[in-house]
Amino acid sequence: MTPKYDPDKNSAGCYAAAIEAKRLRGDKHYPEVKARAPDAETEREMKRLKRALDRKLRETGHG
């Protein structure tokens, strides 16, 4: 069975391969990978979801 084509996985793999090839040949002009800070709304939503998960785990006796 042929694996299903995943365009996101393919593009990420191609990008990683291109960056590695540039690094190996000594190119320095491409940007370094930077960590992206989450925005305030995402941070609030993550905290809300964590509280909900903690509550559910306590209710079922797993937390």
Q: Is the pTM of this model over 0.85?
A: no
Residue numbers of the domain that contains 20? 7-59
Please indicate, yes or no, if residue 26 is contained in any of the structural domains. yes
Please indicate, yes or no, if residue 2 is contained in any of the structural domains. no
What is the number of structural domains in the chain? 1
Tens of pLDDT, residue by residue over 4-60, are 888 888 888 888 888 889 888 988 776 666 777 778 888 899 999 999 999 999 998
Contacts of 38 (CB under 8 A, 6+ apart): 46
